[in-house]
Amino acid sequence: MTDTVSNGATTKPQIPEGNVVTCLDKGFVRLVDYMGSDAAIVQAARVSYGAGTKKVSEDRGLIRYLMRHAHTTPFEMVEFKFHVKLPIFVARQWIRHRTANVNEYSGRYSVMPEEFYVPDAAQIRPQSATNKQGRAEETFSNAEAASIQALLQDGQQRAYNDYEKLLGDNFARELARINLPVSQYTEWYWKIDLHNLFHFLRLRIDAHAQYEIRVYADAMAQMVREIVPMAFEAFEDYTLNAVRLTKPELQAMKRLLAATDISLLTDEALSECGLSKREMEEFRGKLRTMQP
C-alpha cells in the first residue's frame, strides 16, 4: 500500500481491512490510526515537499540506504496507534519499551473484567533445561496439560470471587484489585513512531522472545507491512534478518578472507544474492577492510 498523489497533495490510504487481529485466547491488536507512510520517510529525508517528483524505484533505494546506514530520523516521521488487549504479564514485558505513549485501563476508576489468560495445551510445557527464562520444546501429556489448565483457572476464579466480595463490601477499588493475578487481561492505547516500533519488533518477533508477546508482535508486523511496505522490506533485509559481528568475530573473518580471492565475487554473483550496485560497492568495501 502506498500513498497516491492528486493535484500535488498526498492522499492517505485507508486503514487495511485486517486492522484487528485476535491474539491468544481473549486478546487482540487493533490498528486505530497512523500518520505517514513510505512517502513521509522519503519526504523527510529529502527535506522537501515535492511529493511525486521522484520515481518509486528511487524512493525504495533511498529508504533502503537510510535503513542500511542507520539514518533513523526519517523513520520517526511515521507513527502508529494501536488498541491492544493483553494479559498483564505481557503488558509488564511490553512496557519496558519506554519509547511509546501509553494509556492503560485503570483498575482504580473501573471494575476489572473477569477475563484471564489460560495457555492452550500446546503451550503448557515444562521449564527449559538450557534457558532459565523460557519453556522447553516438549509438552506435557494431554491429561497433565488439562490438569494444569484447571489449576490455573481455579486460582483465577477464586481470586476474582474475592475481588467481587471486596467490592461488594465497599472496599476501595484501588486496593481490592491487588490480589488479582497477572494473567488478567488489561487494555491500552499504544502510540509509537516507526523507528522505535521496528526496534520493538526486532526484539519481540525473535524466536527467543516469549511466545505470548511474540503473538502480538507478529500481528502488528503484518499491519505495519501494509502501511509502509518499502520500509518494512528494508527492515527485514537489514535488521530483522541480519547479523552483527563482534570484534573477535571480525578477526576470525579476516583469517577466513586471507585465503579468499574476493575478485571471484562478480557483479552477476552478487546480483543473484539481491545486492544493488551501491550495495555491491559497500560490500566489497567491507571485505577490503577485513583483508590483512
Q: Which are the catalytic amino acids?
A: 204
Separation CA 271–CA 237 (nearest Å)? 15
Report DSSP state, residue 48. -
Does residue 2 contact residue 55 with C-beta atoms inside 8 Å?
Answer: no
CA dihedral sign of residues 82, 88, 92, 93 = negative
Instruction: Count Cα atoms within 13 angstroms, Cβ side, for 222.
Output: 14
Task: State the CB neighbour count (10 A cutoff) for residue 23.
Answer: 23
Does residue 188 contact residue 102 with C-beta atoms inside 8 Å?
Answer: yes
* Residues contacting residue 239 through CB under 8 Å, at least 6 positions apart: 67, 198, 202
Does residue 140 contact residue 124 with C-beta atoms inside 8 Å?
Answer: yes
